[in-house]
């Protein structure tokens, strides 16, 4: 493989190169599955601020970024550590305290925005959200949509269906998400950027193709021949990724299909500390600022703890894992 096709970087260097103050970013996965939590830790560690953030079914990673003061604007439909925190607590606090500009969507709409971006379309006509409060009550003022260069000029527009005008057939024109950087986590990736996601792919392919830059985190960097043996199982070709980063257990404490289950005891602990601002700061001091990088974070967790989370063949999860 030639050097020009080798996109392997450290997580520190990938974040430093492709995520900047004020960027519009999106993190992949869905709720507690295959979310790039290690990337959130690294963004916080590097002190990146004023982000426009979204994820279409977020979890602890977004809550961490909000609680650490990295996010200025949140575009989201749902953010929870399901089974432990039904609404992420630092996100809720920031919205209720007026510390965060927030726009709400239905959970089916944001993926459509990402698909429009992946298609290279400036907008996509839909019926979703018409007739609901999500149409009439905007969280971000219309003026902010117009003046902020990291946002479209409006949350959406409504127009008559041009193929059936004059009969009240309305369409909601949804702008494609203008994403600076997408960060996804795959099970396998080759150095050239080809990657394979096993299990639920969620929004990952669309955000990767729709963003200006894409960081692919993975559990294992593999030889390209491994992915060529079953090309139909691959999720993205190499031309999409700008950086490939091997980050084992990069979704901890959340789960990654066929590799590890979620760490229920850690998530229960996070649920408790995220209720209190001082305890949350202590958590950041211990698990984010208190370690140099992701490998030190894993050392802190300990090999025996991580090994208990490894999924078992035939089950796809860990039978008997303590979750409460």
**Cis amide prior to 253 (ω within 30 degrees):** yes
Q: Dihedrals φ, ψ of 283, to 5°?
A: -60, -45
Tens digits of pLDDT across the chain (324 residues): 444 589 999 999 999 999 999 999 999 999 999 999 999 999 999 999 999 999 988 999 999 999 999 999 999 998 999 889 999 999 999 999 999 999 999 899 999 999 999 999 999 999 999 999 998 899 999 999 999 999 999 999 999 999 988 778 899 999 999 999 999 999 999 999 999 999 999 999 999 999 999 999 999 999 999 999 999 999 999 999 999 999 999 999 999 999 999 999 999 999 999 999 999 999 999 999 999 999 999 999 999 999 999 999 888 889 888 777
Cβ proximity of 53 and 21 under 8 Å? no
Q: How many CB atoms lie within 10 A of CB 165?
A: 10
Question: 């992420």: which residue's tokens?
Answer: 88
Q: What is d(CA 130, CA 126) in angstroms, rounded to the nearest whole number?
A: 9
What is the DSSP-derived secondary structure letter of residue 176? P
Q: Given this model, what pLDDT does residue 1 score? A: 40
In the chain, what is the straight-line distance between the N-terminal and C-terminal CA atoms, in Å?
A: 47
Helical (H) or strand (E) element with 174: strand 170-175
Backbone CA torsion sign across 120, 122, 127, 132? positive
The full DSSP string for 181-229 is EEEEEEEEE-TTS-EE--S--TTHHHHHHHSSEEEEEEEEE--HHHHHT
Q: How far is CA 17 from CA 12, 182, 227, 242, 291, in A?
A: 9, 13, 27, 10, 21
Q: Number of helices (H) and strands (E) in the chain: give both, helices first.
A: 13, 11
**3-state SS of the chain: helix, strand, coil percent to 5?**
35, 20, 45
Its pTM stands at: 0.95
Q: Which of 92, 53, 57 is nearest to 78 (CA)?
A: 57
Q: Dihedrals φ, ψ of 314, to 5°?
A: 95, -30
Q: Dihedrals φ, ψ of 98, to 5°?
A: 70, 25
217's tokens: 């985190």
Helical (H) or strand (E) element with 110: helix 109-119
Q: Given this model, what pLDDT does residue 5 score? A: 83
Tell me the domains of the chain and their CATH numbers.
Answer: 3-125+179-308 (3.40.1080.10)
152's tokens: 């479209």
């Amino acid at each position: 493989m030639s050097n020009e096709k080798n996109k392997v970087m450290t997580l520190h260097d990938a974040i430093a190169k492709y995520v900047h103050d004020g960027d519009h970013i999106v993190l992949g996965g869905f709720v507690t599955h295959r979310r790039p939590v290690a990337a959130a830790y690294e963004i916080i560690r590097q002190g990146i601020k004023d982000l426009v953030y979204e994820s279409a079914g977020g979890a602890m990673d977004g809550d961490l970024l909000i609680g650490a003061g990295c996010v200025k604007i949140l575009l989201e439909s749902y953010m929870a550590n399901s089974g432990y925190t039904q609404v992420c607590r630092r996100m809720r606090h920031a919205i209720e305290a007026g510390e965060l500009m927030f726009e709400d969507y239905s959970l089916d709409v944001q993926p459509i925005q990402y698909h429009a971006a992946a298609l290279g379309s400036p907008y996509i006509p839909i019926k979703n959200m018409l007739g609901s409060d999500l149409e009439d009550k905007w969280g971000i003022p219309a003026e902010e949509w117009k003046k902020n260069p990291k946002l479209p000029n409006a949350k959406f527009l409504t127009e008559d269906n041009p193929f059936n005008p004059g009969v009240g057939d309305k369409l909601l024109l949804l702008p494609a998400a203008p994403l600076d950087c997408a960060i996804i986590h795959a099970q396998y990736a080759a150095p050239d950027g080809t990657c394979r996601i096993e299990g639920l792919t969620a929004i990952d392919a669309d955000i990767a193709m729709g963003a200006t830059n894409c960081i692919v985190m993975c559990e294992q960097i593999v030889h390209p021949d491994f992915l060529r043996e079953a090309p139909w199982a691959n999720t993205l070709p190499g031309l999409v990724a700008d950086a490939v980063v091997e980050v084992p257990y990069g979704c901890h404490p959340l789960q990654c299909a066929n590799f590890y289950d979620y760490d229920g005891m850690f998530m229960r602990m996070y649920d408790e500390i995220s209720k209190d601002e001082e305890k949350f700061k202590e958590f950041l001091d211990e698990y984010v600022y208190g370690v140099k990088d992701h490998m030190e974070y894993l050392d802190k967790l300990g090999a025996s703890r991580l090994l208990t989370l490894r999924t078992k063949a035939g089950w796809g999860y860990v039978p008997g894992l303590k979750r409460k």
